[in-house]
Structure formats: C-alpha cells, structure tokens
A and B are shown apart, each in its own frame.
Chain A
Amino acid sequence: MKTARLVWGYVRHNLMSAMAYRGAFLLQVFGMVLNDVMLLFFWWVLFNRLPTLQGWDLSGVMTIYGVVAFGFGLANVVCGNSFRVAQAITGGELDYYLALPADPLVHLLVSRMSISAWGDILFGLVVFLIAGPVRWDGVLLFLLVGLLAGLIMVAFGTLVGSLAFWVGNADNLAMQAINALITFGLYPVEIFPGVVRVLLYTLIPAAFVGSMPASLLSDFDWGRLAVLVAFTAGIVLAARGVFAWGLRRYESGNLVTVRG
C-alpha cells in the first residue's frame, strides 16, 4: 500500500513537471506516435508483396507492435529509470535512495518519467484497436498482456542493469541487452532459426513481450496465458532478488550527485 502511494505520487509529480513545458510535452507525445506509426510502414509494404509470413499477417504484426509499444510505454512512464539502472548504480545515485525509508529499487525505478513513452502507450492502444475486430474482453486481455509485457521489460532492465554491481562498465552491456529485447520483440519469433528462437524464450525473453502475448490475443489459450503469467512473476522475483543481492555488495560510486 505504501509502495502504491509512492508510485502514484511520483507519477503525478513527474507528469506535472512535464506539463510545464507544453510545446515540448505535446511534441514528444505526438512525435512518438508518428514515429511508431512509421515503423509499421515496412510491414505494410512487405505484406503487399507476401500474403503471410510463417502464419503472421499485417494485422498480427500490428498486434505485436501494439503490445510491445503499450508495454514499453507503461514501463517507461511509470518506471522511467528501468533502462537506466546500470547508470544509476555506477553514477552513485543509489546513495540517495538508500538514505530514504522507501524500497530503494521501487523508488529508483519510479523517480523518472519518460514523456515520449506516453506516445507509445497511445500508439499501442490505437494500433491494437485498428489491427482487427476487437471485442470488449479482447481489450481487457490486451491491457493485461500489455501490463505483463511492461513488467517483463522493467524486470529485465533491472536484471541487466544490476550487472553494474559486479562488472565495472556495465552501462553499454545493459543498453545492448535492452536494445536486443525490444528489437527482437517487434518481430514474429517464428522467422528466426531454431537456436535464436530458444534464446528469445530464455536469455533475451523477447518472445514473451511480443509474439506470445500477441498470439494470445488472436488465439486465446489458458495454458499459454498461465505460462506468460508464471514467467512474468518469475522474472520480477528474480530481478528483485538479484538487485537485493547486488545491493549488499554495493559500494557507492565516487561521483557525488546533487538532486535539484
């Protein structure tokens, strides 16, 4: 309950400060929507030439984009520091959170908001709605799997970011891993050769943020939903555990940052 209040407090505060610059806010949100729309251009042209690709058609791929964008947007609006965990650790920012009573991981994650990510949320929702005929229960399921995708991204960001507790310059490595998750997540997992596919269900769990939730939306199955929920719960717990483990051997960086 206390955590929920902290999260909400930060979301509200961050949103307020973002809106102080109105032009910037609107431009970032709608710029991102346009940006995302144009990413679909590739698939639109490609599916003009080919009817389907390993069972995926344009509306299927649009659903993947919808889920990934919605999840990505949610992750970066609420937990804007998800993809900056390594930087926060090496930069010595953690000291600030450790000095406060709230859970340091949650506090670190929520203390920043990505403005453009609002555009991703908007795009994700809209693209899902126009991808194909949807019923109200489909919308509910979309919101659920979008939330799960977002949670997986936050947890994955935390996991690779926590590498900074052990490895010196983990910023680049973490950024690469996150880029890989998003890049691969946007493609139907079936187009990749077998070995890579295994990788996408394990080391870089891109299949769980894109193809798998999207396939649930077109072809629902309780079993696969259970797998997705279980995986999300697992990776969230793993992220918390690894971060807590790393925290124990944390040495503060020598960079003193003053929060303004």
Chain B
Amino acid sequence: MTRYGFVLWTAARQQWTYRAEMAMRAAQMALFMGVFLALWSTAFGVSGRAELAGYSLPAMVWYLAMTETVTLSTSRVFMEIGQAVRSGDLAYTLARPMSYPFYQVAYSLGNSVPRFMMNLLTASAVVGLGTGRVAGSLPGFAAFLGMAALALVLDALIAVLIGLLAFWIEEISPVFWIYQKLLFTVGGLFLPLEMFPAGLRRLAEWLPFQFITYAPARAFVAFAPGEVLRAAAGQAAYIGLTAAAVTLVWRLAQRRMVVHGG
C-alpha cells in the first residue's frame, strides 16, 4: 500500500511543477464562475424569488463552485492508459511488481491534489467576491474535504476503467465524454439534484455520479450529519464496486492483450 502512496506523492510533486498549466486552469475556473454568477443572478432576478428549490443565490453559486472544484481537479488518466494500450508502451509499467491499474489510480490522484487546492482557492475567491459572503459552514467544509477525497478516488477508478476499455474499442474519448456529461447532468454538476423533476431526482440519487459532484457540494452548503454519513457510505460502496470492476476488467484485458506490430 505504501508504494501506491508514494506514487501519489511523486505525481503530486510533478504536477506542482506545471505552473503554466495550473495558471491556465485557474483562469478557466475564474471564467466559469463568472458565467455562473451572471447566469444565476439573472435567473434569480427574473424569478423574483429569494430561493429556488431551497437554494438562495449565494448558496447556488457556492454549490457550483464546489462541484466545479471537484470535477476540474480530476485527471484524465484514461488518455494515457488508452495511448499506452494502443502503442504497446504498457510494457514499461508492466515489467514492474505492482498492479498497473492501481498504479494509474494513485498517479491520477497525485495529479488531482495540487489542482484541487488551486481550484478551491480560485473558485472560492471569485464566488466569495461575487456574492459577498460564504454560503457554507465550517463542519460543512470539513465534510466537503473528506467527501471530495472519496469523490476523487471514485472518479479515478472510473477513469481507469474507461482507459482499460481501450483494449476493446479503438477510441475511448467518446466514452469519457458520456461519463463527463453524466456528471454534468445526473451528477448535479450544473444543477443541484433538488432542481430536478421528482422521478429523475430519485434515479439520480442511486447512480454513482452524484457521489462525485452533488454529494460533497451539498455537504458544504447544507451540512446535515445524517445526510453526510449516508452519502459517504454510498461513496464507499461505489468505490468498492468500481475497484472490483477494475480488477476484473484488468484480468480480462491481460488475457486478450493484443499488440500491434512488434
């Protein structure tokens, strides 16, 4: 286990050296937050109400800041895996005494940590200045941090799963887009689940996607211990499930490993 921790640590340190990329991500985050501020200010103004589905304007924008902080911190490790599979470069990491997919999970998480810190700072700064307040509590923040960590683990496992699909299909990025859009929609990235029509909301609550975006952000803007515990249990359950899936898929992949050229 410690070696995976060390992979994570090394990846985080390397990510930290990508200054230009980090600055670009900060700019992108600021842009998104600006758009959301404008959009929701208009929407709340038009509706003439102080709350939509239980969210005030600041709560809504802070909710978005938190969902974006998590999603924009995820790494795109599936691209590297896909490329390694296609080029046959897997050889390298494979000649080592450790599990390739879980090495990639650790690597992905390592990339996410510095991004997460920077995204959190940028989004909070823009949204804090824009709304003039912090729509969240201290215990809510603690719960957010814990759940965001679990969310990133779950996301990394899913990304590795997508990457491993490269053994069967030539182009995996469309699968990633679909996954990403599921986060956008039923994951509650752009809209809290409370805004959904009732039927859709019930469905979304059972899917894994809301555990990555909605659950941590909700914990921040509306902290409720019972809800947090239930959501964390859901996260853990899905982490177990996807980890098992990764192990299984990797076993299948090894069996049908086909290399082009040689």
**Which residues of A are interface residues toward B (Cβ below 8 A)?**
21, 23-24, 27-28, 30-32, 34-35, 38-39, 41-42, 45-46, 48-50, 52-54, 116, 169, 172, 175-176, 179-180, 183-184, 187, 190-193, 196
Contacts and interface: CB of A to CB of B under 8 A. Distances in A.
B170 A53 contact: no
B162 to A, nearest CB: 12
A28 B182 contact: no
B28 interface: yes
Which DSSP category, helix, strand, loop or mixed, fits chain A's interface? Answer: helix
Nearest to A21: B170
28 contacts: A23-B169, A27-B171, A27-B175, A30-B174, A31-B175, A31-B178, A34-B177, A35-B174, A38-B178, A38-B181, A38-B185, A41-B181, A41-B184, A42-B191, A45-B191, A45-B195, A45-B196, A46-B195, A49-B195, A116-B173, A172-B24, A176-B24, A176-B31, A179-B28, A184-B35, A187-B35, A193-B38, A196-B38
Contacts of A50: 43, 46-47
Contacts of B23: 172
Contacts of A27: 169-171, 174-175
A54 B39 CA distance: 11
B1 interface: no
A176 B171 contact: no
Interface of B: 20-21, 23-24, 27-28, 31-32, 34-35, 38-39, 42-43, 46-47, 52-53, 169-171, 173-175, 177-178, 180-182, 184-185, 190-191, 195-197
Contacts, number: 98
Given A23-B169, A31-B174, A53-B42, A176 B185 contact: no
Contacts of B170: 21, 23-24, 27
Contacts of A176: 24, 27-28, 31
